[in-house]
A and B are shown apart, each in its own frame.
Chain A
Amino acid sequence: MKALRMILVAATALSAATAASATDLEVTHWWTSGGEAAAVAELAKAFDATGNHWVDGAIAGSGGTARPIMISRITGGDPMGATQFNHGRQAEELVQAGLMRDLESVAEAEHWRDIIRPSSLLDSCTIDGKIYCAPVNIHSWQWLWLSNAAFDKAGVAVPKNWDEFVAAAPALEKAGIIPLAVGGQPWQAAGAFDVLMVAIAGKDTFYKVFKDKDADVAAGPEIAKVFKAADDARKMSKGTNVQDWNQATNLVITGKAGGQIMGDWAQGEFALAGQVAGKDYTCLPGLGVNEIISTGGDAFYFPKLDDPEKSKAQEVLASTLLAPATQVAFNLKKGSLPVRGDVDLAAANDCMKKGLEILQKGNVIEGTDQLLSADSQKQKEDLFSEFFANPSMTPEDAQKRFADIIASAD
C-alpha cells in the first residue's frame, strides 16, 4: 500500500515537472503508412524545435476510422491540442457548435490570405469570415501510377493516357498481372470514379454535378461515358485481393499490378521503396487525358482548450505548420504539394514538378470533400464500392442510383 502511494506521488511529481518545462500538445492524425509517417515526423521535428512537445496521436486505418474517434473526443469534452481533417465540410458542424477556436490572430500576423494558394484552400477553412484551420498540403487525387516493370514484362509500351492503358490491359492479364489495383476500402472506388469523371467529362460537368448538384446532368450522356470507363476500370481491377490503399500501391511497386488510380500520397510509398519517378514508375496527372488536379487537402483544426499555455502552443503550432521550411520538408516526404507558392522546391521529383506546373497554370478544381457533405460522400462510397465489386450491376443501373444521390445531396 505504501509502495503504491509512493509510486503515485512520484508519478504526479513527474508529470508536473514535464508540464512546467515545455507544453505538451497532443496532435491526432491518420498518417500511418510508411511514407505518411515519415512526413509527419517532419512536422513533429519542427514543432519540437520551438521548445514545445508534439505528442503523437496517430490513429491507424485512414480517415474513415480516425475521424469518428476525433469527433467523439471533441464532442465528449476531451479535446486534443490539434487534429487533422480534410478541410472542407468534415468539421463544419464542430465549428458551428463553437467547439473549435479560430486562428484569426495567427492568420493576420503571418499574412495567410496573401501567401496561401489557391485561395479556395483557405476558403474551405473559413466559416462566417473567420479562419478555423491551417492547411498543410494540397492533395490531388487525379493521378494514375504505373509500374514500368509490369509493362516491360507484358511486352507493351508504358501507356501515356487512360485509353492506351485500357488497351494494354489484355496484354497485362496474359502476363499474370492485375491491370488496375483497387483496394477494398470504399473511398478508393469512389475516388477513382471522381478521377475518371474529371478526366473524361471535364471540369464543367464535374462542377455541374458536385457543386450545383444537377441531377439531370448526373443522369445524362456525359456521365454515361464516365460510367462506361468505370466499367472498364472494374473489369481491370478484378483479382486485387487487398484492403488498404497502400497494399494496393505495393502491388504496383512490386510489379504485380500495372497501375493504380490514387492520390499523390501514393508517391510517398514509391519514394520509401526507393523507386525513382520516370525510371521505375510513371505518373499520369489527370490520367493523361485532362491535366487538372483537385486541391482538397489536409488541414489542422484546433479545438478550444481551457489551458492558456496550451492555447499559446496551438498558435505556435499553427504558424510552424505553414513555415516555409516545414512545408518543404513535409511535402517532399509526403509527395503532396505545398500550400504556399513562395517556397523553394528544387528537390522536387518528376511527378511533383508535373503537379506544380499544373498548379502554376491554374488548372485546378475543388475536391469532393470541399463540395459534398460527409453524408453524400458516404452514399457515393457505398454505391461505387458495390459497383466495383459486383459485376452483375450494370453501368446504367449504377448511373440511375448515382443521379438519385446527387438529387438528394447537400
Chain B
Amino acid sequence: MTEQVHARRPSQLLRNLNSKIASIPMILTASVVFFGGTIWTIVYSFTNSKLLPRLKWVGLDQYERLWSAPRWIISIENLAIYGILSLIFSLLIGFVLAAFMDQKIRFENTFRTIFLYPFALSFIVTGLVWQWILNPDFGVQSIVRSLGWTDFTFNPLYTQSIVIYGILIAALWQGTGLVMCLMLAGLRGIDEDIWKAARVDGIPMWKTYVFVIIPMMRPVFITTLVIIASGIVRVYDLVVAQTSGGPGIASEVPAKYVYDYMFQAQNLGQGFAASTMMLITVSIVIIPWAFLEFGGKKRG
C-alpha cells in the first residue's frame, strides 16, 4: 500500500500543494517588488533620467558625480559614526536596562511602559521634540543658564562638529526601549536552574552574565542586531525633523541624499546611483554574515 502511494506520488513540485498555492502572492511580491525593483533601480542608475525614467545611457557618470559630491562623502561619514555608535549604545543600554528589570523589581510594568513609550512615537515626533529640547534658545541650554550657570553651552544641533551626536541622542531615546524589551524576553527565557547553579558555584553575578547568559542569548542578540541595523541604514525622518541635514550639510545621511536628488533635484539617475551604493554597502555587511550564520550551521 505505502509502496504504491510512494510510486504514484507526483513530482516534488506538487507536494503540499495548498501551502504552495497560498504562498504564491508572497513569492510574487518578493520577486517582482523586491527583486524586480532592485534590478530596475540598478539599470536606471546608468542613465541620465531626470524627472521621469528614460533609457539614455551615460555609463558610470552618475557614480563619478556621486563620489565627487562633498555632500555624499559627508553622508557616508555620518552614517558610519551614527551607525557604529547607535549599535553599541542601544545594545549596551538596552541590555543593562533589561538586566536591571530582571532583578524582580517593584512596578516593573510601569517602568517597562515608560521605557518602551518613546518607541510608540513616530520618528518625526521624536525629532521635533528633541529639536526643541536641544534648541539653545529655549531648550536645555537656556534652562541651565536660567538656573545660574550662564556660561553653560550645550548646542549640538547648531554646531557642525557634533550635530550627529544630537541626532544620536534622539535615536537612542526612541530605540533603546525596544531593545530592552527584546533583551528582557531573552533573559526570561533563560532557565532559572542556570542561575541557581551559578549561585551554588559562587560565581559572581557579572561573570554569570558575561560568560553564561550572554552566550546563551545569541539568537536574541542577532534578532536585535538586525532590527537596529535596518533602522540605521534608513535613518531619514529623524534628520529631517531635527536639522533638515543642517547646519549646512553637516548632518546629511545617504537616505536623505537619495530622496533629495530623486525628487527635489528631479534627477532620478543620481538618486538611483546613490541608492545602489546603499544597497552595495548593506550587502557587504549582510552577505558575509549570512554565510557565517546559515552556511556555517549546515556544515557544523
Binding site for B on A (CB under 8 A): 64, 67-68, 71-72, 75, 90, 92-94, 97, 184-186, 241, 243, 373-375, 377-379, 382, 385-390, 401
Contact partners of A186 in chain B: CB under 8 A: 244-246
- Bound-state CA distance A386–B52 (Å) is 29
The 6 closest A-B pairs by CB, nearest first: A389-B248, A68-B263, A378-B265, A389-B247, A93-B51, A386-B248
Contact partners of A377 in chain B: CB under 8 A: 265
Contact partners of A388 in chain B: CB under 8 A: 248
- Bound-state CA distance A186–B264 (Å) is 12
In the complex the two chains form, is A184's CB within 8 Å of B266's CB? no
In the complex the two chains form, is B261's CB within 8 Å of A378's CB? yes
Can you report 7 residue pairs joining A to B where beta carbons are below 8 Å apart? Answer: A71-B51, A241-B136, A374-B264, A375-B50, A378-B260, A378-B261, A389-B249
Q: How large is the interface on B (under 10, 10 to 19, 20 to 34, 35 or more residues)?
A: 20 to 34
Partner of B243, one of A67, A72, A184: A184
- Bound-state CA distance A234–B97 (Å) is 45
- Bound-state CA distance A375–B264 (Å) is 8
In the complex the two chains form, is B160's CB within 8 Å of A390's CB? yes
Contact partners of A385 in chain B: CB under 8 A: 245-246, 248-249
Q: Smallest CB-CB separation from B70: which chain A residue? A: A386
Contact partners of B261 in chain A: CB under 8 A: 375, 378
In the complex the two chains form, is B266's CB within 8 Å of A185's CB? no
- Bound-state CA distance A68–B69 (Å) is 22
Asked if B174 is at the interface of the complex by the 8 Å CB criterion, the answer is: no
In the complex the two chains form, is B265's CB within 8 Å of A374's CB? yes
Contact partners of B249 in chain A: CB under 8 A: 382, 385-386, 389
B97 to chain A, nearest CB (A): 33
In the complex the two chains form, is A185's CB within 8 Å of B265's CB? no
Q: A94-B51, A389-B160 are in contact. Are A67 and B264 (CB under 8 A)?
A: yes
Contact partners of A64 in chain B: CB under 8 A: 264
Report B250-267 CB contacts with A as 1/0, cut-off 8 Å: 100000000111111111
Contact partners of B270 in chain A: CB under 8 A: 375
Contact partners of B131 in chain A: CB under 8 A: 243
A387 to chain B, nearest CB (A): 7
Q: A94-B51, A375-B266 are in contact. Are A185 and B244 (CB under 8 A)?
A: yes
In the complex the two chains form, is B250's CB within 8 Å of A390's CB? yes
Contact partners of A185 in chain B: CB under 8 A: 244
Q: A72-B263, A378-B264 are in contact. Are A184 and B160 (CB under 8 A)?
A: no
Asked if B165 is at the interface of the complex by the 8 Å CB criterion, the answer is: no
Report B156-198 CB contacts with A as 1/0, cut-off 8 Å: 0010100000000000000000000000000000000000000
In the complex the two chains form, is A382's CB within 8 Å of B52's CB? no
In the complex the two chains form, is A375's CB within 8 Å of B267's CB? yes
Within 8 A of A (CB), among B103-129: none
Contact partners of A387 in chain B: CB under 8 A: 248
In the complex the two chains form, is B263's CB within 8 Å of A71's CB? yes
Contact partners of B158 in chain A: CB under 8 A: 241
- Bound-state CA distance A388–B246 (Å) is 10
B21 to chain A, nearest CB (A): 29
Report B34-52 CB contacts with A as 1/0, cut-off 8 Å: 0000000000000000111
Report B128-142 CB contacts with A as 1/0, cut-off 8 Å: 000100011100000
B258 to chain A, nearest CB (A): 12
Q: A75-B52, A386-B70 are in contact. Are A379 and B265 (CB under 8 A)?
A: yes
The winner among A373, A375, A387 for most chain B CB atoms within 10 A is A375
Contact partners of B248 in chain A: CB under 8 A: 385-390
- Bound-state CA distance A8–B279 (Å) is 44
A241 to chain B, nearest CB (A): 5
In the complex the two chains form, is A97's CB within 8 Å of B267's CB? no
Contact partners of A374 in chain B: CB under 8 A: 51, 264-267
Q: Smallest CB-CB separation from B139: which chain A residue? A: A241
Contact partners of A72 in chain B: CB under 8 A: 263
Contact partners of A92 in chain B: CB under 8 A: 51
New A-B contacts (15) at CB < 8 Å, excluding given A93-B51, A243-B131: A64-B264, A185-B244, A186-B244, A243-B244, A373-B50, A373-B266, A374-B267, A375-B50, A375-B266, A378-B267, A382-B69, A388-B248, A389-B248, A390-B160, A390-B250
In the complex the two chains form, is A93's CB within 8 Å of B266's CB? yes
Q: A385-B249, A386-B249 are in contact. Are A241 and B135 (CB under 8 A)?
A: yes
In the complex the two chains form, is A184's CB within 8 Å of B246's CB? yes
Q: A243-B244, A243-B246, A389-B248 are in contact. Are A67 and B51 (CB under 8 A)?
A: no
B142 to chain A, nearest CB (A): 11
Partner of A389, one of B69, B246, B262: B246
- Bound-state CA distance A97–B246 (Å) is 35
B261 to chain A, nearest CB (A): 7
In the complex the two chains form, is B264's CB within 8 Å of A68's CB? yes
Q: A97-B52, A184-B246, A241-B158 are in contact. Are A375 and B265 (CB under 8 A)?
A: yes
Contact partners of B262 in chain A: CB under 8 A: 68
Within 8 A of A (CB), among B9-50: 50
A89 to chain B, nearest CB (A): 9
B143 to chain A, nearest CB (A): 15
- Bound-state CA distance A239–B60 (Å) is 41
- Bound-state CA distance A243–B241 (Å) is 10
Contact partners of B243 in chain A: CB under 8 A: 184, 243
In the complex the two chains form, is A93's CB within 8 Å of B52's CB? yes
